[in-house]
Structure 1
Amino acid sequence: MALNPPSPTPSMFKKKSSSNLSTAASYLSAVRAADARARAHGGTPTATPALSLSSSVTTSSEDTVLAEESDHEDNILYYPPIPPTSEQVFTTVHSEFGHCANSDYRYTSQHPQGVPVTPWLEQDPPYYILFTTYVSYIILICIGHIRDFFHKHFKPSTFQHLIPLQGYAPLNSDFDSFYTRRLKTRLDDCFSYPVTGVAGRTIVLLDRISHDFNVTFEPTGKRVRALNISSYNYLGFAQARGGCADAVEEGIKRYGVSACGTRLEGGSLDLHATAEGLVAKFVGMEDSLISSMGFATNSTIIPALVGKGCLVISDELNHASIRFGVRLSGANVRMFKHNDMADLESLLREVISQGQPKTHRPWKKILIIVEGLYSMEGTLVNLPRIMELKKKYKFYLFIDEAHSIGALGPHGRGVTDYFNIPPRSVDILMGTFTKSFGAAGGYIAGSKTLVDRLRLRGHTGAYAEAMTPPVLVQVIASMASIMGVSPSLPASFSPSSSSSSASTLRLTDSDGYEHPGPAPASSLPAWLDLPPALRDGSEGHDRLRRLAFNSRYLSRGLEKLGFITYGHVDSPIVPLLLFNPGKMPLFSRMMRSMETPIVVVVVAYPATPLVTSRVRFCVSAAHTKADIDLVLKACDEIGDVLDLKHRPGDRWPLEKIMANAIELVRMNE
């Protein structure tokens, strides 16, 4: 059937007057209907074209009601439209979640059974890169001190906050603020860039300019929509429309936006108990405790687990919240090299044989704290090896799954799911809702005895505010969408031996893998009505597989282009090393200046070592294969200009990478 070309319209984002899509559920139903009509006419809408924000060909005029509405359209500068492919049959913009019906662009995130975990090796650049990086910092430091000298003598007013004044000591010392004033300020235009809208597939940038070398910024009034590859929206649930958004809207109508509604003891809502039970089912633990802030989950719970006379063994690259919590606990702390299991075992032998300092008494307890997925390196914990050491040396294990929960594993249950390890063999699982679930807050999961004690001893319950109803509903809806909802107890389910009211039902796949099964309908609020694709878990499963494909494709593609990258191939965080500090703002600006603007996050000291400045690509299930192609194309062009391709080995041209994406993703399965 011949398709009519798109007709020009004043604004592609204006909602049609005949549109009656009042809810996100009806919006998604219309998308599915358009898909069905396209397939009936022989079309194969496999993907949204690469950020083509122009109207594309349609099979019927009624599909045009799917145009997206946006405020202040006249002030937004859209990048030049890219010609639509022959596969696209939609007029929807897909700015929040890209359409991709091609089943080949899917992959299951799972570690091959019986294959040892490859140790993480840091790739070093050529010596001239390291030399010029150090020289760059030396030049910046020297110029900074020269500027400080002249300012102190000729512009003393600019240093009043750094010198004693009227008997008061300065709040900020000259040395501590030097890096911020003389180095970071020069790069500030690529940090804290103002944006608006949800952290979906695309985002709107609020353009700004500085007239005083990045000391202050002024908005220009222009807004630019760009591809967003900088957010932790791993599964794409950070949407303003969809089944989860409708559930949150209904939750606001029932509970309001603050803590009100049907209360339980201690100032909690019935939603809090529901969310804690669902989290326990999702991660495969007996019980869980939720907190309104992810950072506070670690910093307030760790002091309730260990104290004086205890030992904490921490990975050297653990998050600041873990370090802060260990300091508050008063326990002794030792660190081992990042993901180095030989160093960890050597340290375990030393601390067990020597005991406590001075007295050499046995430790009251030994707690090892690691992260499932490290956000700056993109590396995965070597969990199989740690479990072997746990059986041998009898320590407690705490895993921070802030970035891995919902993003790794065939069922999205994190690193235990990814490595096919029973979750209850781990003592404590911690995670956050701010990444894969599009919400806020965190949780601690473990045995019921442990969680009950943490409710009394942890500072979170006593001093932190409770999570608000809209956030709770988002957590419940998104988590249930990943798990799927079982209306009744299937015959294939069997309760675990240590079942309780919060115990997790287990499901065994055809390959013998056992994992937490779908959430019983009784564990969700009775009024929660998810669309069928979310309720049966099919869309959540599809998002997990899309994320795994996008992660592997971007990581492998950058390697084949010759870039030095860190991290695991299945990690949705892909760091690309820039090294030289001067290349950070250039890379960020050049990505925003592409024909299709791309928003990235650059990271430098003190978040990373001084000479390993990097850009972190955060992949999402909301991205399409065409979006990843755009990122690879932009990196290929910028990499040649900034001299970033230093990886040894075989290199592929960009066209070969894009044409062989499926083979590249499935390589070394």
Structure 2
Amino acid sequence: MPFSSPSPMALNKPSPTSSIFKKRSANPVLPASAASYLSALSQADARARTGTAAPSFTSTPALSLSSSATASSEGTVLDPAELENDGLVLPLQPPTSEQVFATLHTEFGHCANDEFRTVSVHPVGTPLAPHVEQDPPYYVLLSTYISYLLLIVLGHVRDFMGKRLTPARYKYLMPHDGYAPLNSDFDSFYTRRLKTRMDECFSQPVTGVAGRTIMLLDRMSPDYNHTQLFTGTRTRALNISSYNYLGFAQGSGGCADAVEESIKRYGVAALGARLEGGASDLLGTAEALVAKFVGMEDALISSMGFATNSTYIPALVNKGCLVISDEFNHASIRFGVRISGAHVRMFKHNDMENLESLLREVVSQGQPKTHRPWKKILVIVEGLYSMEGTMANLPVLLAMKKKYKFYLFVDEAHSIGALGPHGRGIADFFGTNPRGIDVLMGTFTKSFGAAGGYIAGNKTLIDRLRVYGHASPYAETMAPPVITQVVASMASIMGVQGFTDAPKALTDGEYHHPGPAPPSALPGWLHLPPALASGAEGTERLRRLAFNSRYLHTGLKKLGFITYGHAASPIVPLLLFNPGKMNMFHRLMRARALPIVVVVVAYPATPLTTGRVRFCVSAAHTKADVDVVLRACDEIGDVLDLKHGLKKGERWSVEECIRRAGELGRA
């Protein structure tokens, strides 16, 4: 991307010879005053909008922040109070813009360059390429096994010696005074001796909006992670760890204004109370909008995503039924199936041949012992798998469904809003009719920046679930502000009739895309800004997310890393393997001049030897933000010996990846 003046990114980028272990300066150099910077920025933006000066940037640059932030403000980087107290290092040259941005740059990155956009869609009729897991060199696997072996052996030695030399520390693991042990020595071993060693990677405390950037509460441990103490300082970091796929987790903007209006209308007491009167009507409005959004006949809303699966699956199947589940399905699915009383069979992750072989067996053999036909066969898959970044092969599943007459349940917790040219999820991505799926489940905690989940299907099914689902009589409904966030963000993706023309239908035989939302489907008091009501900003977010996902995924592979998942997935797992590298990767990413906060995932969420860092891309990120992540990974990958995906001669340099970003992002 051409610049007319040196990029602020370049001004803060470490030199090729500098070490990533070099301590950051405690006293960053700041401009003369925040007021002078704001004044210059305001004048530059005014000139750009009036056409009196050519804009020098097509997108505002990536962050340049100090990690020693101590202010309590979590607002925009352009807030004078925060600039004076937060320790932020500002660009030396104020950026200009080609348009008036309605978002805070810290929450949603400003980017007006249409080159960095693409569409999330799979060509209709083209088979989905199988995901092939790449193995690292044998020495990497061997060192990983040896590392775990040493940790286990040393852990047992420490337990053996500790119980005899310092029994007070192990009192809760041993019988005493007639009491049984509070915890099992064996069951808690992994938590005590392995996970505790890298606890700083998990459950990082934050404050404020988890948008493009995030404010971390710094902490330290005086006793090897047994306790964590706050230092009193805060760190503003680039956030590549949240499920904020479309960037709707914002503290300001049209959706936030709608939420504020709902609080004024329904009162603060409605935040935790059962819905009554007009608030109950709001829930019905939201359920109708969800049904239209996903292209189904009816839908119901649950106040918790986990509970959506765990409480409604038992209303779908029971004793005498069979559930066939992907081996990598979420814990909420496993829990719901377990308490339903149905028989369960697993098939290899995304292996359609293994699934068909299993279907032939269970259909021909029937129920165990009696061999009677199954009352019902329910196949459960996820649209997008959160640990792998892979997606269900929906066209093949629908073909099998017609052949073997089973019911299909698709969990779209991560795919709804994140996949498809219209953000309608896995069916939209493949261009198939969603009504070919019997049960669509999804959550609002990812792409919509809210909470809760939904079940969508035909009206007969939804009416039954309202009566027999455990959540309906026993759980609280969602609060009006949360429902309003769902409605506002969903309408922003769909667009509202009268503000936008119906989008071109993505057709596959008889299927026609639902199109924009009618005004009658929204509360009468809800007024979205024109950019949101027209669907223009929602479409822009979808295209930005699609580009960022492909650019990061393809860029990491070109650099030589082993990654999992589909290129269109906003979840990009990078394999670390060795447990020692997990802690180091997290520390080195956070210790950079521009701190980057990442999610490290280890056993039991993944197999023992495939520990990984999981990047979660957002539409809130700019192309420059992804450049920052690629540069950091390239440098740290060399230090930790992580580049095992390609041979040296086949790898690209990080500068070549950045220069050819448009090609990688639309590959």
CA-CA distance at 1:508 after TM superposition = 2.5
1:261·1:269 contact (CA, 8 Å) conserved in 2? no
1:640: which partner in 2? 638
CA-CA distance at 1:165 after TM superposition = 2.5
2:505 to 498, 504, 508: 508
How many angstroms apart in 1 are the aligned matches of 2:371 and 2:345?
16
2:529: which partner in 1? 531
CA-CA distance at 1:190 after TM superposition = 1.4
CA-CA distance at 1:53 after TM superposition = 6.0
State the secondary structure of the residue aligned to 1:519: coil
Are 2:177 and 1:177 equivalent residues in the alignment? Answer: no
1:332: which partner in 2? 343
1:401: which partner in 2? 412
CA-CA distance at 1:42 after TM superposition = 2.5
**Aligned pair in 2 of structure 1 residues 558, 39: CA closer, same or farther (>3 Å)?**
farther
How many angstroms apart in 2 are the aligned matches of 1:238 and 1:397?
31
2:320·2:342 contact (CA, 8 Å) conserved in 1? yes
Are 2:61 and 1:49 equivalent residues in the alignment? Answer: yes
Greater displacement, 477-486 / 162-171: 162-171
Are 2:660 and 1:660 equivalent residues in the alignment? Answer: yes
2:457: which partner in 1? 446
1:439·1:474 contact (CA, 8 Å) conserved in 2? yes
1:560: which partner in 2? 558
How many angstroms apart in 2 are the aligned matches of 1:308 and 1:524?
41
How many angstroms apart in 2 are the aligned matches of 1:290 and 1:434?
13
1:69 to 79, 97, 112: 79
**Aligned pair in 2 of structure 1 residues 246, 144: CA closer, same or farther (>3 Å)?**
same
| Unaligned segments of structure 1, at least 5 residues | 20-29, 55-64, 493-505
Are 2:541 and 1:543 equivalent residues in the alignment? Answer: yes
**Aligned pair in 2 of structure 1 residues 13, 557: CA closer, same or farther (>3 Å)?**
farther
CA-CA distance at 1:88 after TM superposition = 5.4
| Unaligned segments of structure 2, at least 5 residues | 9-29, 67-74
CA-CA distance at 1:68 after TM superposition = 3.4
State the secondary structure of the residue aligned to 1:402: coil
How many angstroms apart in 2 are the aligned matches of 1:271 and 1:460?
19
2:275·2:477 contact (CA, 8 Å) conserved in 1? no
**Aligned pair in 2 of structure 1 residues 376, 262: CA closer, same or farther (>3 Å)?**
closer
How many angstroms apart in 2 are the aligned matches of 1:239 and 1:13?
27
How many angstroms apart in 2 are the aligned matches of 1:260 and 1:216?
33
CA-CA distance at 1:340 after TM superposition = 0.1
2:34·2:80 contact (CA, 8 Å) conserved in 1? no
2:500·2:516 contact (CA, 8 Å) conserved in 1? no
1:628: which partner in 2? 626
How many angstroms apart in 2 are the aligned matches of 1:487 and 1:261?
35
CA-CA distance at 1:209 after TM superposition = 1.1
**Aligned pair in 2 of structure 1 residues 528, 88: CA closer, same or farther (>3 Å)?**
closer
State the secondary structure of the residue aligned to 1:205: strand
**Aligned pair in 2 of structure 1 residues 85, 9: CA closer, same or farther (>3 Å)?**
closer
Map of 1:226-375 to 2, 5 A cutoff?
226-259=237-270, 269-375=280-386
Question: Residue deviations 1:92-143, cap 9 Å, x none?
Answer: 9610000011111000000012211111111111100000000000111111
How many angstroms apart in 2 are the aligned matches of 1:280 and 1:32?
45
1:262·1:270 contact (CA, 8 Å) conserved in 2? no
How many angstroms apart in 2 are the aligned matches of 1:441 and 1:225?
28
**Aligned pair in 2 of structure 1 residues 36, 269: CA closer, same or farther (>3 Å)?**
farther
CA-CA distance at 1:52 after TM superposition = 4.0
1:500: which partner in 2? none
Q: Aligned Cα RMSD in Å?
A: 3.0
How many angstroms apart in 1 are the aligned matches of 2:47 and 2:455?
41
2:431·2:506 contact (CA, 8 Å) conserved in 1? no
The aligned length equals 628
1:382: which partner in 2? 393
State the secondary structure of the residue aligned to 2:374: coil
How many angstroms apart in 1 are the aligned matches of 2:274 and 2:221?
50
How many angstroms apart in 2 are the aligned matches of 1:279 and 1:81?
42
**Aligned pair in 2 of structure 1 residues 82, 74: CA closer, same or farther (>3 Å)?**
closer
CA-CA distance at 1:511 after TM superposition = 9.7
CA-CA distance at 1:259 after TM superposition = 3.1
How many angstroms apart in 1 are the aligned matches of 2:498 and 2:405?
41
**Aligned pair in 2 of structure 1 residues 214, 263: CA closer, same or farther (>3 Å)?**
closer
CA-CA distance at 1:151 after TM superposition = 1.0
Greater displacement, 404-413 / 119-128: 119-128
TM-score with structure 1 setting the length? 0.89
- The aligned amino acid for 2:185 is D
CA-CA distance at 1:666 after TM superposition = 2.3
How many angstroms apart in 2 are the aligned matches of 1:96 and 1:385?
39
How many angstroms apart in 1 are the aligned matches of 2:273 and 2:145?
60
- The aligned amino acid for 1:656 is E
1:23: which partner in 2? none
How many angstroms apart in 1 are the aligned matches of 2:43 and 2:177?
68
State the secondary structure of the residue aligned to 2:270: coil
State the secondary structure of the residue aligned to 2:613: strand
How many angstroms apart in 2 are the aligned matches of 1:428 and 1:181?
40
Are 2:497 and 1:479 equivalent residues in the alignment? Answer: no
CA-CA distance at 1:222 after TM superposition = 1.3
How many angstroms apart in 2 are the aligned matches of 1:392 and 1:664?
39
Are 2:235 and 1:224 equivalent residues in the alignment? Answer: yes
State the secondary structure of the residue aligned to 1:615: strand
How many angstroms apart in 1 are the aligned matches of 2:35 and 2:465?
53
Question: Residue deviations 1:33-53, cap 9 Å, x none?
Answer: 859616553226421201146
1:8: which partner in 2? 31
1:534·1:540 contact (CA, 8 Å) conserved in 2? yes
State the secondary structure of the residue aligned to 1:233: coil
How many angstroms apart in 1 are the aligned matches of 2:186 and 2:219?
30
- The aligned amino acid for 1:69 is D
CA-CA distance at 1:563 after TM superposition = 0.2
- The aligned amino acid for 1:295 is F
2:417·2:424 contact (CA, 8 Å) conserved in 1? yes
CA-CA distance at 1:270 after TM superposition = 1.2
Question: Residue deviations 1:161-215, cap 9 Å, x none?
Answer: 1112332222310001111111111101111111111110001111111111111
1:190: which partner in 2? 201
1:109: which partner in 2? 120
Question: Residue deviations 1:414-436, cap 9 Å, x none?
Answer: 00000001011100000000000
State the secondary structure of the residue aligned to 2:513: strand
Question: Residue deviations 1:18-44, cap 9 Å, x none?
Answer: x9xxxxxxxxxx999859616553226
How many angstroms apart in 1 are the aligned matches of 2:38 and 2:206?
23
How many angstroms apart in 2 are the aligned matches of 1:462 and 1:419?
36
2:577: which partner in 1? 579
1:260·1:269 contact (CA, 8 Å) conserved in 2? no
Greater displacement, 242-251 / 168-177: 168-177
**Aligned pair in 2 of structure 1 residues 413, 206: CA closer, same or farther (>3 Å)?**
same
**Aligned pair in 2 of structure 1 residues 207, 141: CA closer, same or farther (>3 Å)?**
same
How many angstroms apart in 2 are the aligned matches of 1:593 and 1:66?
23
**Aligned pair in 2 of structure 1 residues 12, 369: CA closer, same or farther (>3 Å)?**
farther
- The aligned amino acid for 1:657 is C
Map of 1:5-44 to 2, 5 A cutoff?
8-11=31-34, 34=46, 37=49, 39=51, 41-43=53-55
2:22: which partner in 1? none
Greater displacement, 632-641 / 480-489: 480-489
**Aligned pair in 2 of structure 1 residues 141, 267: CA closer, same or farther (>3 Å)?**
farther
How many angstroms apart in 2 are the aligned matches of 1:560 and 1:215?
40
How many angstroms apart in 1 are the aligned matches of 2:36 and 2:304?
36
**Aligned pair in 2 of structure 1 residues 489, 189: CA closer, same or farther (>3 Å)?**
closer
State the secondary structure of the residue aligned to 2:575: strand
CA-CA distance at 1:648 after TM superposition = 2.6
How many angstroms apart in 2 are the aligned matches of 1:174 and 1:235?
44
**Aligned pair in 2 of structure 1 residues 366, 39: CA closer, same or farther (>3 Å)?**
farther
1:597 to 589, 595, 598: 595
Question: Residue deviations 1:256-302, cap 9 Å, x none?
Answer: 23438999879961110011010001000011000000000000000
1:278·1:476 contact (CA, 8 Å) conserved in 2? yes
